[in-house]
């Protein structure tokens, strides 16, 4: 089978072949993140499960820098490749990876030191709930730098025309986590420490193996080479990836707000139910994020190369894919809500009923989710980080965060579950407005 290049013309079949490894990579990453919760819920109990879900948004908040460097940096590097400056692309890539590691190591050490205070602010006030949250977080900080690198490499593997290799490494990390969770939590009964150690080991596989690959001689478009700090390209990377950074930060803040509201209205059961919803959301949204990671270098390359016919071709196909896949996800989430919920909380009927009810309300958001993810990622790929950031900021901070506090006043707990669909639909309309406004400027 021939190797697909960024410069190719893409039919649906060729596009699918190119982006499917990235989609599978993101879905598998979501699954192995979920495994900790699955084993903790069924083998340790609701308190441990809720504790991990409580601190998880904070950990995603930290890892957001990895997504920013990956998406923003890959857009810049892909444009440099499209302009024929391959050596500069390698140097830019190497500089970004080095800076990311130094930053990640620093913030991980600080987070581990102040984790009791952080857990308290997140809502874990005392007792076993707080102890579990602090313990899990501190152990997983050991591998947080590797997790940030893994998030960045997911985008760079695509730009290097090696999406399948990125998938293989992600699968290896995921299988490591799953197997070790089975042994550490299910068989050895190490509880929350076992789940954390499984995650640490898996994240070292996901983050360290790509470093070794790119540091050695390879046949990809990118390699780790000696590089100097270039503030201009660092600034462009941060600008391009601003939306992904804000989207992840704001998403984490919104999740923290959800947990605080649910602790107030429902208690630990509410946090546990929201944890299940987050896991299902991770898997479904991973399809869209994986698609954008896989296709973004294509948009960047063809825009920089001036091949606007192919840019238009990719744009039209993507819009159709978002509509079909999003509608299918809503149907699956609605009909499969009892089964998906039972995987995690079948041992508690009251919690199970609460989770099924919540999942059916939130399932509506998947219809429009693809358009919101595409809009933000599309403008990042075109180098317009400002519009991308506005879309990300509007959905999470302005719309979803407002909804999670306002809707419960009128709808009670159901208002919390409805805040996701409401904010997603409104963001989709805003995205459409920007796509119409910039159509002529970017020739799509």
Contacts of 422 (CB under 8 A, 6+ apart): 399, 403, 407
pLDDT at 35: 85
Phi-psi region of 306 (alpha: psi -120 to 50; beta: other; left: phi over 0): left
Tell me if 207 sits within 8 A of 221, measured CB to CB: no
3-state secondary structure of 137: helix
Which whole number is the average pLDDT over 31-54?
A: 88
* Distance separating alpha carbons of residues 444 and 313, to the nearest angstrom: 8
Higher pLDDT, 325 or 45: 325
Tell me if 96 sits within 8 A of 73, measured CB to CB: yes
* Residue 75 pLDDT level (bands cut at 50, 70, 90): confident
pLDDT at 299 over 80: yes
Tell me if 123 sits within 8 A of 53, measured CB to CB: no
Tell me if 111 sits within 8 A of 60, measured CB to CB: no
pLDDT at 113 over 90: yes
CA 361 to chain centre: 22
Question: What mean pLDDT, rounded, does the chain reach?
Answer: 92
pLDDT at 2 over 80: no
- Percent of the chain residues past pLDDT 90, beyond the cut: 75
Phi-psi region of 37 (alpha: psi -120 to 50; beta: other; left: phi over 0): alpha
pLDDT at 396 over 80: no
The Cβ of residue 339 has, within 10 Å, a number of other Cβ atoms equal to: 10
* Residue 33 pLDDT level (bands cut at 50, 70, 90): confident
* Distance separating alpha carbons of residues 114 and 10, to the nearest angstrom: 49
Which whole number is the average pLDDT over 354-366?
A: 96
Which whole number is the average pLDDT over 139-149?
A: 97
pLDDT at 1 over 70: no
- Percent of the chain residues past pLDDT 70, beyond the cut: 100
Tell me if 375 sits within 8 A of 228, measured CB to CB: no
In 216-307, where does DSSP find H-type helix?
231-240, 242-265, 268-305
Angle between helix 191-215 and helix 86-113 axes, rounded to 10 deg: 160
Q: Comparing C-alpha atoms, which of 161, 168, 163, 169 is closest to residue 220?
A: 161
Contacts of 208 (CB under 8 A, 6+ apart): 146, 149
pLDDT at 440: 92
pLDDT at 26: 85
pLDDT tens, position by position, 172-230: 998 999 999 999 999 999 999 999 999 999 999 999 999 999 999 898 999 999 999 99
Four-point Cα dihedral 388, 418, 30, 186, nearest 10: 160
Contacts of 277 (CB under 8 A, 6+ apart): 355, 358, 359, 362, 417
pLDDT at 163: 85
* Distance separating alpha carbons of residues 265 and 234, to the nearest angstrom: 44
pLDDT at 32: 72
Which whole number is the average pLDDT over 303-318?
A: 95
* Distance separating alpha carbons of residues 247 and 388, to the nearest angstrom: 9
pLDDT tens, position by position, 253-266: 888 999 999 999 99
pLDDT at 415 over 90: yes
CA 224 to chain centre: 24
Contacts of 81 (CB under 8 A, 6+ apart): 6, 89, 159, 221, 301
């Amino acid at each position: 089978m021939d190797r697909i290049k960024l410069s190719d013309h893409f039919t649906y079949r060729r596009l699918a072949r190119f982006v499917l490894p990235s989609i599978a990579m993101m879905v598998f990453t979501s699954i192995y993140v979920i495994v900790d919760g699955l084993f903790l819920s069924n083998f340790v109990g609701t308190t441990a499960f809720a504790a991990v879900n409580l601190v998880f948004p904070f950990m995603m908040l930290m890892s957001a820098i990895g997504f920013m460097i990956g998406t923003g940096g890959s857009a810049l590097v892909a444009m440099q490749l499209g302009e024929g400056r391959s050596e500069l692309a390698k140097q830019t890539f190497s500089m970004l990876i080095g800076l990311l590691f130094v930053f990640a190591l620093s913030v991980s050490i600080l987070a581990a030191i102040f984790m009791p205070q952080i857990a308290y602010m997140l809502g874990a006030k005392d007792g076993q709930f707080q102890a579990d949250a602090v313990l899990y977080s501190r152990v997983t900080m050991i591998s947080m730098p590797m997790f940030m690198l893994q998030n960045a490499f997911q985008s760079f593997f695509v730009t290097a025309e090696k999406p399948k290799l990125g998938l293989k490494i992600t699968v290896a990390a995921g299988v490591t986590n799953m197997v070790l969770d089975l042994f550490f939590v299910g068989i050895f009964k190490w509880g929350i420490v076992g789940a954390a150690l499984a995650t640490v080991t898996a994240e070292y596989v996901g983050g360290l193996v790509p470093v070794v690959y790119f540091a050695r001689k390879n046949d990809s478009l990118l390699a780790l080479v000696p590089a100097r700090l270039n503030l201009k390209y660092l600034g462009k990377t941060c600008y391009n990836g601003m939306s992904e950074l804000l989207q992840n930060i704001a998403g984490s803040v919104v999740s923290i707000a959800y947990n605080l509201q649910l602790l107030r209205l429902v208690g630990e059961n509410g946090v546990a139910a929201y944890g299940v919803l987050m896991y299902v959301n991770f898997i479904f949204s991973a399809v869209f994020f994986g698609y954008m990671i896989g296709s973004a270098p294509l948009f960047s390359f063809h825009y920089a190369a001036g091949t606007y016919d192919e840019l238009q071709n990719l744009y039209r196909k993507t819009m159709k894919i978002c509509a079909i896949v999003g509608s299918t996800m809503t149907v699956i989430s609605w009909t499969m809500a009892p089964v998906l919920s039972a995987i995690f909380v079948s041992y508690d009927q009251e919690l199970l009923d609460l989770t099924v009810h919540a999942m059916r309300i939130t399932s509506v958001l998947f219809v429009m989710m693809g358009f919101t993810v595409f809009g933000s990622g599309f403008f990042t790929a075109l180098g317009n980080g400002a519009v991308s950031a506005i879309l990300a900021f509007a959905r999470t901070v302005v719309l979803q965060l407002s909804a999670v506090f306002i809707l419960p006043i009128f709808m009670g707990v159901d208002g919390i579950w409805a805040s996701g669909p409401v904010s997603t639909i409104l963001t989709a309309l805003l995205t459409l407005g920007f796509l119409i406004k910039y159509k002529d400027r970017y020739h799509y």
